[in-house]
């Protein structure tokens, strides 16, 4: 199905099965209503419980969010250090760090935690993230105001920060029987967190955390799967997500709408290169280590995967394409990568040689930024545009370990072909189909809070397994 101009107007599912609130001004966020005419309608519908929880969340956010009287009172509470038990507003403040894929996944995890615990999620938006997303909640902002009391200290919050929950537990400065709890706490939930930080995932610890009005969270991981191991959230989560494979698919499409500026990049590119073809194949290439994954290995891996899984037609290397007359393009390959080399090699292969089945393949790459520059706003906009373009393809190939690819597959609702990690040798098989479209949690706790011993968290509940691309990671399916 190609691009149908303005068909979103005719499409009854423009609110994604009730996922999106209806009361938004269209012009402020075009992608919210237009993405349905680019992205195929999802066969996965949100549960009615999820829809009603989201509407409840929106009400809470509107009454407790920045600019409200309740927010001002909560800030006073924060400053005084004393908990005011009459206040109905509690918050999670999310603090940024790492690449955009990591950020999107950890924000989604923080949001689900906020929904489950009746908190309001506020984002500490650094300048590098500004103008990427529309506001997700109606008549309210999720951006942490500039005059937030600890705003200038947030960047220095690291694992060793004395006021973090983990360190306070370690130093015995907090426990569940304490009368006077602080009005705020830091939660360190990043890949290198330690045993005490991870006690966040214990039901007993949630009893304490529930009482603290301000939780300031630094995270760069998709910690959401571990919430499914906690009995305090079990019942709610079952009702919210009868289909466990769709958590990020729904929450990601609910939260992250490209801003008008980024949406323009996406739609212009799409209309120009991808709209008129029969099939779009997205290949997301992310190389973490050039030493262990040299260019030729990765190139061979991609071509082998495409051939074995019949994703792309083979070429006849003995023949060359003779006439230069324009031919109808049947398939478009969208490559994303920090470097142009893969694109150039694949493009010239299909330009110079005819395919065995006569199909004409065009190869495109929107940008090659050479290096990750996550502090650069324009760089992040390009990355966000490319995640979206990948999510609009019909067949998706992603690189192992990459949250960039996870976001694309989740938004697009696709189980990708995963290019397994190269560690000095090309793996065999080179790639495999993902068992679900969910992202992988790279750093899950392995602690059984009740038994106080180590446990393999991928074996406890039926809908959690180890990831295909990271043996110690866990993912929902
Ligand atoms: P991960 O490191 O692969 O898990 O993904 P992240 O998104 O967290 O961090 C990688 C960052 O590097 C991205 O956010 C981009 O800033 C940049 N990057 C990596 N691959 C690409 C790409 O294919 N295209 C663009 N535009 N940027 C990329």
pLDDT at 391: 98
Which stretch, 12-16, 174-178, 228-232, has highest mean pLDDT? 228-232
Interval 245-267 mean pLDDT: 98
Ligand 1 atom nearest 337 alpha carbon: 23
**Does the pLDDT at position 320 exceed 50?**
yes
Ligand 1 atom nearest 406 alpha carbon: 4
Is 316 buried (19+), middle (13-18) or exposed (0-12) by CB count in 10 A? Answer: exposed
The rounded mean pLDDT for the chain is: 94
Interval 317-325 mean pLDDT: 78
pLDDT at 52: 97
pLDDT band at 96 (very low <50, low <70, confident <90, very high): confident
pLDDT at 23: 80
The binding-site residues of ligand 1, defined as CB within 6 angstroms of any ligand atom, are: 98-102, 286, 336-338, 367, 369, 372, 374, 379-380, 382-383, 386, 402-404
Interval 305-330 mean pLDDT: 88
The preferred substitution site among 383, 397, 416 for testing ligand 1, maximizing ligand atoms within 8 Å of CB, is: 383
Taking CA atoms only, the protein residue closest to ligand 1 atom 12 is 372
Ligand 1 centroid distance, CA of 221 (Å): 15
Burial readout 365-402 (b: 16 or more C-beta within 10 A, e: otherwise): bbbbeeeeebeeeebbbbbbbbbbbbbbbbbbbbbbbb
Give the range among 13-17, 18-22, 76-80, 314-318 with minimum mean pLDDT.
13-17
**Does the pLDDT at position 180 exceed 90?**
no
Ligand 1 atom nearest 98 alpha carbon: 8
The preferred substitution site among 97, 99, 285 for testing ligand 1, maximizing ligand atoms within 8 Å of CB, is: 99
pLDDT at 38: 94
Ligand 1 centroid distance, CA of 286 (Å): 8
| 92 strand-pairing partners | 121, 215
Of the candidates 162, 174, 224, the one whose C-alpha atom is nearest the C-alpha of residue 204 is: 174
pLDDT band at 177 (very low <50, low <70, confident <90, very high): confident
Give the range among 64-78, 109-123, 174-188, 335-349 with minimum mean pLDDT.
174-188
Ligand 1 atom nearest 380 alpha carbon: 16
pLDDT band at 25 (very low <50, low <70, confident <90, very high): confident
CA distance 207 to 261: 43
pLDDT at 323: 63
Model ipTM over 0.95: yes
All residues at 6 or more sequence positions from 449 whose CB lies less than 8 Å from its CB, including other chains: 199, 201, 202, 203, 204, 205
| pLDDT-above-70 percentage for the chain | 96
User: How much is the pTM?
Assistant: 0.96
CA distance 254 to 245: 16
């Amino acid at each position: 199905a190609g691009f149908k101009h303005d068909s979103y107007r005719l499409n009854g599912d423009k609110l994604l099965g009730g996922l999106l609130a209806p009361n938004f001004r269209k012009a402020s966020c075009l992608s919210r209503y237009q993405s349905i005419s680019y992205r195929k309608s999802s066969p996965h519908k949100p549960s009615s419980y999820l829809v009603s929880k989201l509407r409840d969340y929106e009400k809470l956010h509107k009454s407790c969010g920045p600019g409200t009287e309740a927010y001002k009172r909560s800030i006073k509470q924060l400053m005084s250090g004393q908990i005011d038990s009459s206040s109905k507003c509690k918050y999670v403040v999310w603090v940024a760090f790492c690449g955009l894929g990591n950020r999107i996944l950890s924000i989604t995890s923080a949001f689900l935690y906020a929904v489950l615990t009746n908190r309001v999620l506020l984002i500490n938006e650094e300048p590098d993230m500004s103008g990427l997303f529309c506001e997700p909640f109606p008549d309210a902002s999720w951006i942490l105001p500039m005059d937030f009391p600890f705003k200038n200290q947030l960047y220095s919050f690291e694992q060793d920060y004395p006021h973090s929950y983990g360190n306070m537990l370690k130093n015995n400065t907090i426990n569940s029987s304490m009368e006077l709890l602080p009005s705020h706490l830091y939660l360190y939930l990043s890949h290198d967190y330690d045993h005490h930080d991870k006690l966040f995932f214990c039901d007993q610890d949630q009893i304490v955390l529930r009482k603290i009005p301000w939780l300031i969270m630094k995270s760069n991981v998709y910690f959401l799967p571990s919430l499914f191991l906690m009995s305090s959230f079990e019942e709610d989560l079952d009702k919210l997500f009868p289909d466990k494979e769709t958590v990020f698919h729904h929450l990601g499409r609910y939260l992250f709408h490209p801003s008008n500026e980024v949406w323009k990049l996406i739609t212009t590119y799409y209309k120009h290169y991808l709209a008129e073809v029969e099939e779009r194949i997205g290949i997301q290439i992310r190389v973490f280590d050039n030493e262990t994954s040299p260019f030729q290995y990765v190139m061979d891996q991609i071509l082998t995967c495409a051939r074995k899984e019949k994703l792309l037609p083979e070429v006849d290397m003995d023949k060359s394409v003779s006439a230069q007359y324009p031919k109808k393009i049947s398939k478009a390959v969208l490559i994303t990568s920090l470097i142009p080399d893969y694109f150039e090699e694949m493009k010239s292969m299909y330009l110079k040689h005819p395919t065995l089945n006569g199909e004409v393949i065009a190869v495109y790459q929107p940008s090659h930024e050479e290096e990750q520059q996550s502090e650069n706003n324009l760089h992040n906009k390009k990355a966000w545009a490319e995640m979206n373009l990948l999510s609009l393809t019909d067949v998706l190939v992603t690189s192992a370990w990459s949250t960039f690819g996870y976001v694309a597959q989740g938004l697009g609702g696709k189980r990708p072909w995963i290019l397994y990690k190269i560690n000095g040798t090309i793996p065999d098989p080179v790639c495999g189909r993902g068992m679900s479209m969910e992202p992988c949690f790279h750093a899950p706790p392995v602690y059984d809070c009740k038994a106080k011993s180590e446990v393999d968290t991928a074996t406890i509940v039926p809908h959690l397994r180890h990831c295909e691309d990271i043996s110690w990671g866990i993912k929902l399916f």
